[in-house]
Structure 1
Amino acid sequence: MSSTIPLYDATIGVSTNSLKTLLDLLKKAQAHPEADTLAATRLYPDMLPFSVQIIIVSNFAKKNVERLAGRQLDVWADDETTLEQLVARVEKTLDLLKTVKPEDLDGWSGDRTTEIKIGSFDPVKATASQYVLGYSLPNMFFHLSIAYGLLRMKGLELGKADLLKNFVSDFFTLPGQ
């Protein structure tokens, strides 16, 4: 017996929950005494700053819409450097995701592929499941986790529930939420 997970839930649903989590984190960051410096925070000098972690999650959500719903979207500047700008970016991305319906992702079955760039490898052809499970979702979770870790490093009181509550909210309410 095989089971399937709707492509919409795995992409638009997970992207929405990731962005809602970032929005929650950003709002907590805005209340931090060092709020003005948090966007530039890095874990290590050669790593991307907090602001870029947010932009990358937003871009993966946007690319899910472009690649899987077949939409040609405007290029966004990717130049947000303040928490306020990052909040606006996340809200803009959430608004975009609200325009996608499950039927917009119909037609993704079998050997149909999309082209992606992985580092210096361009193009790489991937089926929807290869793209979503092997590239898009792992990248979103990586950058979401780095953003969370950067804020923890700066002393924000965050816990695992802050990272998970939007993902489990449709079937479970975490204690204290």
Structure 2
Amino acid sequence: MTISMYEASVGLFVPYLRNLSALLDKGVAYAEARKFNPEVLLGMRLAPNMYDLAQQVGEACRHATVTSALLAGREPVALPALEHDMAGLQARIATSLEFIASLPRAEIDAAAERKVVWRLKDGTELPFTGRTLVLVNCIPQFFFHVTTAYDLLRHAGVELVKKDYLGRK
């Protein structure tokens, strides 16, 4: 059995970004039911030196968007500024989803052996092939941030279960 580059990247990013959006909606509903500002959730972090919830969502979107763009040989869409508000995060997720869905499947599928360069925030360049970018770097990074966002909401008391993380199939 083979799996295409598109299925290994976009095929994972799209449903899990949708799930992430639904997790944030559940966080808002939880906060509103308990009569506190949902924005409070966005500043939560698991440890003092870790990203907060808003940054976890932002990084999940960044990894999905930049990876998909590199695989398609395109420039990534400019994501909305990372704001610490639920509407801003939902806009960021929506922009990521729209961009990723617009990329040509054939070009992504052809990217397995293409040389690509991931640029870190500090400007460091990491060389990969499309395949190693997806398998060794971006899928682990993406799921780290999605999982941490889920964990932060669970820790805050939001009533989530594994199906919320995995999505309803």
Fold match (TM-score > 0.5): yes
**Distance of 1:21 and 1:96 partners within structure 2:** 17
Residue aligning to 1:30: 28
Residue aligning to 1:122: 124
The counterpart of 2:69, out of the listed 59, 66, 69, is 66
Gaps of 5+ in 2: none
**Distance of 2:166 and 2:66 partners within structure 1:** 23
Alignment of 1:115-154 (within 5 A): 115-117=117-119, 122-154=124-156
Percent of counterpart pairs with the same letter? 29
Gaps of 5+ in 1: 170-177
State whether residues 111 and 131 of structure 2, in contact with CA within 8 Å, keep that contact through their aligned partners in structure 1: no
Residue aligning to 2:86: 83
State whether residues 150 and 165 of structure 2, in contact with CA within 8 Å, keep that contact through their aligned partners in structure 1: yes
**Distance of 1:8 and 1:43 partners within structure 2:** 32
Superposed CA deviations along residues 55-75 of structure 1, whole A, max 9, x for unmatched, are 001001111222001112343
**TM-score of the superposed pair, with normalisation by structure 2:** 0.88
Relative to structure 1, is the Cα distance of residues 117 and 162 closer, same or farther in structure 2, using a 3 angstrom cutoff?
same
**Distance of 1:59 and 1:41 partners within structure 2:** 20
State whether residues 56 and 149 of structure 2, in contact with CA within 8 Å, keep that contact through their aligned partners in structure 1: yes
Residue aligning to 2:167: 165
State whether residues 56 and 140 of structure 1, in contact with CA within 8 Å, keep that contact through their aligned partners in structure 2: yes
Deviates more, 1:83-92 or 1:134-143: 83-92
Q: By how many angstroms is 1:118 displaced?
A: 5.6
Relative to structure 1, is the Cα distance of residues 86 and 109 closer, same or farther in structure 2, using a 3 angstrom cutoff?
closer
Q: By how many angstroms is 1:18 displaced?
A: 1.5
Q: By how many angstroms is 1:11 displaced?
A: 0.7
Query: Number of residue pairs matched?
Result: 164
Residue aligning to 1:54: 57
Report the 3-state secondary structure (helix = DSSP H, G, I; strand = E; otherwise coil) of the residue aligned with 1:115.
strand
Superposition RMSD on alpha carbons, in Å? 1.9
Residue aligning to 1:172: none
Report the 3-state secondary structure (helix = DSSP H, G, I; strand = E; otherwise coil) of the residue aligned with 1:108.
coil
Superposed CA deviations along residues 98-127 of structure 1, whole A, max 9, x for unmatched, are 2123113143244x3111246878322111
Residue aligning to 1:100: 103
